[in-house]
Each structure stands twice: as C-alpha cells, then as structure tokens.
Amino acid sequence: MDSESTPVHADITLVVNGREHRLSVDTRASLLDVLREDLGLTGSKKGCDHGQCGACTILIGGRRANGCLALAVAHDGADIVTVEGLARDGRLSPVQEAFIEQDAFQCGYCTPGQLCSATGMLDEAGQGWPSTVTGDLGSEPVLDDDEIRERMSGNLCRCGAYVGIVAALREASRRKEAAEA
C-alpha cells in the first residue's frame, strides 16, 4: 500500500450551535458529513453532495453556505449554526413558526436547508444586499415576493412547497421588521 492512499487526518475545532467540538477529521470530509456522521447532527441533509440542491445549507459565521462543499478541515475554528440551533430554549424561531403556519414543506427533507437559508437570507436582505431581480442596484432592495423567490432559489424543493415557503418568508420578514421597528 502506498502512502498516498492513506487517509490524512487533521485536528480541528468547530463551534456548532454554541457548543465546542474538538475533532480529528479526514481532510476529505465535508462539514456536512462531519455534522451528520461524527456529531450526530442529522438535521442538515444531503440531497446532492454537489451544491446543487441546498438541502445541506447551514450558517457558517452567520452566513448561509452549502455544508457539502465546505471541507471540514478548511473550517477549523468556525462558528456554525444548523437547523438544530435555530430554536432557542425550545422556542421556535419566527421562520420555523411561519413554515408550520404556511405548510411550507411536505416531505421535510429540504426543510432544514430552507430554514437555515431563509435565516441567512433575511439577514442579507436586512443589510441591503441586492439580488439579480433588484431593479436599481443603487437603491435599498425591498424584500417583495420576487426578491424572496430569487434569493431562495438555491434551495430546491421537489414536493413543490415554494408557494408556502414564499408566504412563510413574507410573514417572517414582516414580523422581523415589526420587531425591529
């Protein structure tokens, strides 16, 4: 057996949902696989393993990202939030609540990624980030339905729950604004 077929391991630290984990990971392992297989946090889903479906979406340093494309070894020290970390003290987040109210899911497999993506998306919109449907890039984008649809298009849902997802985020966005006003 030649040495180049031997797995390479690295010691890393991850802070996941506020909890610190020290791990030895195979350099080839994705954050998604480390979360699911090593830490037992199976809320984040694997739909395609190539960044094409968004089911693995997590928040890394507060920003949404595809866990399947992130090598764990490259995220030593990262602060990560998964779907398991969205509720606080047993209280669902406004986005989670809105998803239930609007029946924004069916099979539920894309849902954790949708929820993390939506959480990051609302934050991005709050900071004035534009999207490809933002008419005037010089202005502050207004998070209307077209904006929500475009910004959530990195999360595929084969059950076709988009109508409910957009309704949920319209509502969550409204509540967020009301809470901040």
Q: Does 128 bind another protein (CB under 8 A)?
A: yes
Residues in 14-53 at the binding interface with another protein, rule: CB under 8 A? 26-30, 33, 36-37, 40-53
Does position 96 interact with another protein (CB under 8 A)? The reply is yes
Residue identified by tokens 């539920």 is 108
- Given the complex with another protein, which of 20 and 62 has the nearer CB atom? 62
Q: Within positions 131 to 170, which residues make up the interface with another protein, using CB under 8 A? A: 131-134, 137-138, 145-146, 148-166
Contact between 109 and another protein per CB under 8 A: yes
How many angstroms separate the first and last alpha carbons of the chain?
A: 64
Apex CA 73: angle with CA 23 and CA 71, to 5°?
Answer: 120
Q: Are 34 and 73 in contact (CB under 8 A)?
A: no
- Least distance CB 62 / another protein (angstroms): 10
For another protein, the closer of residues 121 and 174 by Cβ is 121
Alpha-carbon distance of 29 to 39, in angstroms, equals 13
Using rule CB under 8 A, residue 13 touches another protein: no
Q: How far is the CB of 175 from another protein (least distance, A)?
A: 16
By CB under 8 A, residue 107 contacts another protein = yes
Measured from the CB of residue 109, what is the shortest distance to another protein in angstroms?
3
Print burial letters for 74-112: b (CB count within 10 Å at least 16), e (below 16).
Answer: ebeebebbbbbbbeeeeeebbbbbbbeebebbeeebbbb
